[in-house]
Chain A
Amino acid sequence: MNSKPYVREVSKTTWFLSHPRYKRYMAREVTCIFIFAYTFLLIAALGALANGQEAFDAFVLGLGGPLGVLFNVVVLIATVYHSLSWFVVTPQAMPIQMGEEFVAGHIIVNAHYGAWAVVSLIILFWGM
């Protein structure tokens, strides 16, 4: 046995820069921070609502300003990226075997897109 095997150190902070697939992974993980930030906006909305009609109207009016729109657009883009990056890996996490064969991966992914579209439409028309 060799008494002196050489161990290559891996940087704890910059390891993900070494390969595009690690950067893609970090992009998926980092985009969840925007979703986290959006939950604070929802809490603030609840707070405004608790303070009465006037406070809530002012809050909604504020959201319509440039900063509010910018924040929402950025969060939307990040959320869509985050969601899609998870949708594409769903067949790996939840394979479905029917009879002998496994259901094709793209059917499972498309089912997620379908469910997403249906839920989005329901929410959209619910509020109208």
Chain B
Amino acid sequence: MSELQQRQIQLEVLRYNPETDTAPRYQTYSVPCLEEWVVLDALNYIKDHLDPTLSYRWSCHMAVCGSCGMMVNGEPKLACKAFIHEYKEGQIKVEPMANFPIERDLVTSVEDFITKLASVKPYLIPKEDKPVSAGEFKQTPAELKKFKQYTLCINCMLCYAACPQYALVPEFLGPAAISMAHRYNQDSRDGGRDQRQEVIASDEGVWECSFVGACSEVCPKHVDPAGALQQIKVASTIDWYKEHLMPWMKK
């Protein structure tokens, strides 16, 4: 087996200590990185060997937990999926996720997203109550496929960090929350669309989106939130025409 390649990388990290700093500042660490490493490994090396005060979130190291979202060279990335070998220059800039307030170093405040996600009722609202004894809600493979891709969201919030609309209008419900609403709306077992429409078809909902498409470009799980938002716009527009041009069609 050949020996693992090692390369000295300058990691320029945006740091902020709320107790002592009035504004964030960059600190550069020189890290002996293996080519197989990801940026998260380099951060762990800093934490273990160079500077134990560096704060950042991480958990699974395999793009499942969605904790280690940050800006790597200005691009929203999961630090566990940003491979060192993809950065040919000897310098990598690491900053906390854009569009979120910085709590400390690379840790951001995510309350806004959590509140918005809860507001779209991201859970099954069955069409009718049915006792457990009546058996399961059945679904065909085609019905499953209709929403499967949206179930892959890991709430990493990279889509919010990429979305200029969210940056400019913080009230915007945002890509992930609306995609999650779409995931349940598309589910054949669900009957909660009317309840969600009030929130997601509002001005702060899909109509704040101008289809920049950045959310889908950065999504590490290929959820395509931009697609979900446009599909909701189409469905909401059809609703409007039905209501105003064909009132007799009303449910």
Contact = CB atoms under 8 A, between A and B. Distances in A.
Given A2-B109, A10-B99, A93 B142 contact: no
Interface stretch (A14-22, A37-45, A64-72): A14-22
Contact of A93 (B16, B98, B234): B234
Contact of A21 (B142, B217, B227): B217
Contact of B18 (A4, A15, A21): A4
Interface in B103-128: 103-104, 109
A2 B233 CA distance: 38
A5 B103 contact: yes
A19 to B, nearest CB: 7
A94 interface: yes
A2 B214 CA distance: 30
B238 to A, nearest CB: 12
B187 interface: no
Contacts of B164: 10, 15-16, 22, 25
B227 A93 contact: yes
B85 interface: no
Most chain B beta-carbon neighbours within 10 Å: one of A2, A6, A15, A89 = A6
Contact of A25 (B16, B101, B213): B213
A15 B217 contact: no
Interface residues of A, number: 28
Contact of A6 (B16, B98, B211, B226): B16
Interface of A: 2-8, 10, 12, 15-16, 18-19, 21-22, 25, 29, 89, 91-95, 97, 99-102
29 contacts: A4-B18, A5-B102, A5-B103, A6-B16, A6-B21, A6-B23, A6-B24, A6-B101, A7-B102, A8-B24, A10-B99, A10-B167, A15-B164, A15-B167, A16-B164, A19-B214, A21-B212, A22-B164, A25-B164, A25-B210, A25-B213, A89-B226, A92-B227, A92-B230, A93-B211, A93-B231, A97-B146, A99-B142, A102-B145
Contacts of A99: 142
B162 to A, nearest CB: 8
B216 interface: yes
